Every structure is written in structure tokens, then in C-alpha cells.
A and B are shown apart, each in its own frame.
Chain A
Amino acid sequence: MELTFGEIINYTLIASTLRLATPLILASLGGLYSERAGVINIALEGMMLAGAFTAATVTVLTGNPWVGTLAAMLAGLMVALLHAAATISFRADHVVSGTAINLLFLGVPALLSGALFESTGATPQLPREQVLPDLRIFDPQSSPALASIFNQKPLVSLALAMVGMTAWILGRTRFGLRLRAVGENPEAADTAGINVSRMRYAGVLMSGVLAALGGAYLSIGQNSLFTRNMTAGRGFIALAALIFGKWSPVGAMLACLLFGLAEAVAIRMQGTVHLPNQFVQLIPYVLTMIVLAGFIRRATPPAALGTAYVKE
């Protein structure tokens, strides 16, 4: 079987890149709100799992994926509240709190699915009518390429829209300015009359909602059920993308898209190219490292990232 260029580079590659990048973009933007406010968020993985599980469970129980999506946002909010309370109010170490949340949400779905579905970490598979529908912007008959790229789940468009929204909020609004201020120099922000704790809470809560949406996309958008640990490390990749994108919304999106593209290419190269699969599967990671080392060079985190603020 020889490799034909058209088998790898075509419009389905773009569609696939978007689908693979969407959960990463949502979680990455989530991480951005938290980290620009000065709170390290390695709990993205746990927040995604909470969102994915809640979305699937509530959709099974109500039959409505939109209710499931809302519930996922709420679940993300609650998990974020846990992280915020631990790190901001009780000044716990951000990494420890994040790790605890990640471990917790390996176990919670197993426990709850046992009570609800007599399962140990999976939800029943939803019928097609009950997962989030595809948007119908283009007619698949007359323009299959455009339809394949743009007729995606609404969360795909939402993820892209949120990138612009976040850039605007961060750069152009008073809220954004204050959020950045408490992340860079909380003392100065406090002196200027900004409530540091409240701003940091807001940042962490936003991150929970967005990461949970990323999880919901996995369970009731791309798939139709929750299975154990189904995020498979995407929360950590999103965090890497955030750093890789220098804590800027557009940068993070580009990093996620690059990663999505590399994975989509790897998927299409498997079996068509005479390379051991192990090498093909390394492509996304190696590419990320090359770009990181070669082009990005130095990423400067928010100055007060990871530090607790104690009011004098």
C-alpha cells in the first residue's frame, strides 16, 4: 500500500483537526482564566472528567443533551469552587490541590455510576437523537467539503468563539484588566482597591466551567457515553498548550490546533506509511517539542502564578 498525498491532506483532515482540538481549546482557555489570575490549574483533567461524566449522566436521566451540557457546566463550577477554596481561601499549594482533584475524579464517576447504573465507571450509551446535534450550516449534498468542516457540534463553534471572547475580555474589559492585575502583582492590585480573592475566585470558576464543557464535548458530542478516565490526559495537554501559547488565548488556540493537526495527520499516516506505529504516534508530541524549543523559546508565566496572596 503506497501513500498518496491526497489520502492524508484533504478537507477531512481540517474537520478532524477541529474535532480533536475542541476539547483542548475549551480546557486550555479554562486554564488561562485561572492562571492569568495567579492560580495554577493542573486540575483541568479532573474538571474535564467531572464535566464529561455529569453531561453523560444527566443526559441519560433527562434525555436532553442541552440539560446535560448545563449540568456539566454546573459540575465544573462546583469542582472549581473546591480548587478555589483550597488555594485562595486556605492557601493550600496549587499543585497539591490540583492533583487531589484529578485523583478524586478518577474515583467519583465509578462510585456514582455504581449507584445510578449498576456500573463501575461507565454510563449507558445514548441513542443518536440524544447526543448534541451537528450544526447544519452547509448542505452536505451540494458542498460536502464545507459541510464536513463546518457542520460540527455547536461546542466546536463555541470553543472558537470563546477564543475571541476571551481575548476581548482580557484585553478590553475592566474585568480582564483586574484579572491580569491580580495574577501579575496582587499587592498593587489590592492597593488599587481590587478584591484579590474575589477576582481569583472568578478566574478559577471560569476555568471549571470551560474545562467541563471540554469534557462534555467528549462524552455527549464526539461520543455518546462516559467511560473510565476517557479524557486520556487531554487536560494535561491543554495545560501544556496554554504554556506553549504563552498564556494568550490566540496562542493557546494555535497550540491546540497544532496538536490537533498533528494527531489528525498521525491518524491518517498510520497504516498508509511504512513507519512503525510507535513513531507515527509520537508525531504530535515530537512536533510540539520541536515547535516549543525552536520557535517559542521563552514563555513567561504571570508573575504571581502559584503564590498565595496574604492581605497585609
Chain B
Amino acid sequence: MKRLRAILLTILLMHLLLPLTGCVTRDTAADSGSYRAKVGIVFDIGGKDDRSFNAAANVGMLRAKRDLPILLRDVEPGDPTSLEPALRAFSQYGYNLITGVGFAQGPIVAQVAADYPRLHFVLIDSKSDLPNVASLLFKEHEGSFLVGMIAASKSQTGILGFVGGMDIPLIHKFATGYEEGARYVNPNIRVLRNYVGITDAAWNNPGKGRELANAQYDQGADVIFQAAGNSGLGVFDAAEAYHKFAIGVDSNQNWIKPGFILTSMLKRIENAVYSIVRDEVEGRFQGGVHIYGLENDGVDYALDDYNRALIPPEVIARVEQAKRDIVAGKIRVTDAMAEEESRDRAK
């Protein structure tokens, strides 16, 4: 009986505390009136400091705040259950443009957007058919193809690694593109594929990321591409310890461990976010699917002072050629997520 009471009390306590982690602050009088749009953003579980996916969205928002007359508020959810309250809070306060970062927010944004048809919503990495939702999708498979080419050109062992965060179709898209790019350079290359986990805790477990990378390097891999949020930072630690290479993801991560990060697969979320905010301010917001690929610089590979010395010019020339061929349709890169979705529909 006493035990039961304790458990009930615990649950009650958790309910009292949890909403606090995702509360939206009310506008202060000082910044009212000086803006044209109120913009809210709800980040993914990784938080805006993941130096990768969420960080890119944050960079875009901050740039928009600097250049455009907007009021910006953000929420970092403590856990998945605070996503919906955060989105609803923005909606209740009448925010004009509300952004949900990450595939996990897809169904939630769709529900909230249906309840507030006069507000505009943005989804990153997920799709909705509602007219007031803009879905920003990226051709990660194309960018991954390019970094796969660079990895295969650099590899001396003929073995590459891939460490994904959550084992989901979106991340398979990265893995498959990477593998196809590697095969394009070296048909005999072997790619080891690992995922940190099967729940959203997989984005925040650098210890496991490091251990997965250790295992891949032990098996002979000499370049590992990570698409694992905060867990990927553990992969960088392993690369440094083994004196081998890793490849960053989403943001340009070359600076994190200079000399050990071969390149980064850029997903230009910052540009996509910026332009959608600008559209909102200028009254040109358009719902529906917005696709960002190589053709509009939505994805790319990073080349800067941190990694220029690591990649020979002839490799860069070849990658640039492949980029043109993909845009021209001469090389077709498999979109693993689209294939899995159509397979599921066929069932």
C-alpha cells in the first residue's frame, strides 16, 4: 500500500514538473509592435546544441531574426511528450509561423495544424498534406553519395563504416546513398552499418556511438560516416583515438576534430528555414512539399580550411562531376526511405 502511494505520488510529481521543461514564455511588452511575424520553433530531442541537425535549424532562425522583422521564440523539449504542448502553446498565442524540427514531430504538427488552419506551420524531415503546412524535405541520399565517394577514395583498407542514430527509414536514406557513392568509386568496397538504437534516446548516447565506432575501426574500417545527432560526437572521439577518419553530418562539423573529420554531409536546413521565414514575412508563404537537393544547394559536402589538405584535387574533380551527373539524371541514387514507404504501401 505504501509502495503504491509512493508510485502514485511519483507520477503526480512528474506531471507537475515535466510541463515546465517545455514552457513558452509570454511576449514582453518591450518587443511587441516592432515585428511583422511571430515565429516559434520546437526543436527535436537532441536540442539546439547538437552541433548538427538542430543546430542547422537554429542557425537559420537566428539569421532570420537578425535580418527580418520577426519575434523569435524557441522550445527545446525535455522529452517527446512535451512536443505537442509546446506546439499548442505557440498556436494558442497566435504565432504566425510555427516550426517543428525532426521526423518525430510529423504526426503532431499535422494534428495541431488541423486545429489552427489560419496559422502557418513548417515541418522539417516529415510530410503533411495540409495546405497550411510547408514540408521541408532533403535529398540526403544525394549528399551522402558524394561523401561516400570521398570516403571510398580515401580508404586504404577497402572497408568503410556507417553509424546511424535511430534505425529508421530516414537514416537508411543516408546509409544507402553513402554506400552507393562508395561503390561508384570502388565496387568491391565493404560498408559496415550500425545504429545506436531503436528509440529516440539513440540521438543522445555518445558513449554508445563511440563504442560502435571502436568496433568498426577494430574490424578494419578507416572512414566512418555518422548520422547520429549527439551520439555522433562519440564517433569523432573514436576517430581521433584511432587516428582514422570520420565524416560529419547536417552541419559543417569539420571544425570539431580538425584533421580527423574528412568532410561533412551538409543538409542546408539553415537556408531552407531562412527562406521560409522570409516568405512568411513577405506574405508569400506556400504550404506543400519543398524539396532541397543538389540542384538547389539543399545538400552538399563540406570543403573548408579544416579538410582541404585531406582530399586530393582529383577526388574533388570527380565528386564535382558526379554532382553534375546526379543533377542531370545520369546517376540515379536510391532513395531508401521512398522505397521502404512504397514497399509498405504495397503490403
Interface residues on B, range: 35 or more
**Is A16 among interface residues, defined by CB-CB distance under 8 A?**
yes
Other-chain residue from B17, B219, B230 in contact with A228 (beta carbon distance below 8 A): B230
Least Cβ–Cβ distance between A223 and chain B, in angstroms: 5
- A12-32 CB contact bits vs B (8 Å, 1 = yes)? 100010011001000000000
List chain A residues, Cβ under 8 A from B3: 95
Residues in B182-225 with C-beta less than 8 Å from chain A: 190, 192-195, 197-198, 201, 204-208, 210-212, 214-215, 218-219
- A271-312 CB contact bits vs B (8 Å, 1 = yes)? 110000110010000000000000000000000000000000
Do the beta carbons of A93 and B6 come within 8 Å of each other? yes
Instruction: Please measure, in the bound complex, the distance between the C-alpha atom of A218 and the C-alpha atom of B190, giving whole angstroms.
Output: 31
Other-chain residue from B215, B233, B236 in contact with A227 (beta carbon distance below 8 A): B233
Do the beta carbons of A12 and B204 come within 8 Å of each other? no
**Is B25 among interface residues, defined by CB-CB distance under 8 A?**
no
**Is B111 among interface residues, defined by CB-CB distance under 8 A?**
no
Closest chain B residue to A270 by CB distance?
Answer: B194
Do the beta carbons of A230 and B204 come within 8 Å of each other? yes
**Is A166 among interface residues, defined by CB-CB distance under 8 A?**
no
Number of residues in A with C-beta < 8 Å to the partner? 45
Closest chain A residue to B78 by CB distance?
Answer: A106
Do the beta carbons of B204 and A228 come within 8 Å of each other? yes
Other-chain residue from A95, A110, A232 in contact with B208 (beta carbon distance below 8 A): A232
**Is B7 among interface residues, defined by CB-CB distance under 8 A?**
yes
Whether A278 touches B198, Cβ cut-off 8 Å, given contacts A95-B10, A120-B76, A222-B210, is yes
Do the beta carbons of A232 and B204 come within 8 Å of each other? yes
Instruction: Please measure, in the bound complex, the distance between the C-alpha atom of A267 and the C-alpha atom of B14, giving whole angstroms.
Output: 33
Interface contacts beyond A16-B211, A225-B206, A264-B215: sample of 12 additional A-B pairs, CB < 8 Å, sorted by A: A1-B190, A12-B214, A16-B215, A93-B9, A222-B207, A223-B234, A228-B46, A229-B201, A232-B208, A270-B193, A270-B195, A278-B198
Can you list 30 A-B contacts (CB < 8 A)? Answer: A16-B214, A19-B214, A99-B14, A107-B21, A110-B47, A110-B76, A120-B49, A122-B230, A125-B236, A128-B240, A131-B237, A222-B207, A223-B206, A223-B210, A223-B233, A223-B234, A223-B237, A225-B233, A227-B49, A227-B50, A228-B230, A230-B230, A232-B201, A232-B204, A267-B194, A267-B211, A268-B215, A277-B167, A278-B198, A281-B197
